[in-house]
Amino acid sequence: MDRLTVGIDLGGTKILALIVAESGEILARAKSKTKTGLGVEGIGGQMHKTAEKALKRAGVSWEAVERVGIAVPTSVDPATGDVLHAPALGWRNQPARAVFESIFEHRVVLENDVNCGTLAECRAGAAKGAATVVGYFVGTGLGGGVVIDGEIRRGRRGVAGELGHEIIRHNGKLCGCGHRGCVEAYASKTAFCREFRRLILKKGRKSVLSDLTSDTTFKSIKSSVLAEAYRREDPVVCKVLRKGAWMLGVATANLHAILAPDCVVYGGGVMEALGPELLPEIRRGLEAHLFGITPEDVSLRLSALGDDAVPLGAACLAADTANE
């Protein structure tokens, strides 16, 4: 019988677990809501229960599992398995891998979520066959990942690939990390919602968002709602999202000057909902700042794996360690 791998995407709002065969086939999925106030051990228990639900759906037990791969929304120190700073979970400098291994009673591979998503797109998705790939995942924040010759580039203490914190404007908008001018402060749902509050609540601009969401403070708007407003050509939503996509294009141009990747993959909830509409805006921002190569040499692609990308990448990493 195949030795199976469990791949888990631990997010600030949801946990998604996959059961993955040696061939890469996904045998089952299970999802649950993240209860962020439980701490590392409590969330570890949540993930274990979610994985057990997926195993039950696949008709197998833990005895068939070789490794567990867990993707987290933060950098991970590859030497210690400590998570460095995960604001969505309220964690800083936590020995997460050791805690999770005691809960799962299996070898656990811990990795940044967008690193995992980018790797999965290289192995089985939009970037299959490419040597150097950059991933941007646009959700509540903006995550990034870099894969070179099939390997994740982690850098010192695992902080390489934190592309959301690439500074694209000196003394620009304040980012959640505390710095100013990060691309995440322009191209993320957090950034979009902040602009909606400024334009709608403070400046009195009219927007269909007021009718499409019950969130009158515009603190957290679903990507599906943004897509509906955008397709209705709401002037506020179109202005904010197009500006954010342009700025993401500027950041992408910077990455081309540094890495000249074979392709760039865009994923995450916002791009899943609005990728075809926003990708041309990203390309316009990129082409206005591109250096050294022609626009025809630049390959921009949308994620082919959707929600499965991150947990599948975590499973791939776990399977790799089992073969070492």
Q: How far apart are CA 135 and CA 148, in angstroms?
A: 12
Q: How large is the average pLDDT for residues 300-320?
A: 95
Q: pLDDT band at 142, cuts 50/70/90?
A: very high
Fold designation for 4-118+307-322: Nucleotidyltransferase; domain 5 (3.30.420)
| Range in 46-55, 68-77, 280-289 the model is least confident about | 68-77
Task: Read off the pLDDT band of 323 (50, 70, 90).
Answer: low
pLDDT at 12: 81
Over range 231-239, report the average pLDDT.
96
Confidence of residue 185 (pLDDT cuts 50, 70, 90): very high
C-alpha to C-alpha distances, 13 to 33, 35, 113, 220, 318, nearest whole angstrom? 6, 8, 14, 12, 23
Is residue 206 over pLDDT 90? yes
Can you state the percent helix, strand and coil of the chain, rounding each to 5?
Answer: 45, 20, 35
The CATH class of the 129-304 domain is alpha beta
The DSSP letter of residue 63 is G
Q: Is the pLDDT of residue 30 over 60?
A: yes
Average pLDDT, the chain: 92
CATH 3.30.420.40 residue spans of the chain? 4-118+307-322, 129-304
CA gap 200, 209 in Å, rounded: 9
pLDDT at 220: 83
- H or E stretch including 253? helix 235-258
CB 183 within 8 A of CB 163: yes
What's residue 255's pLDDT?
93
The span from the CA of 60 to the CA of 231, in Å, is 44
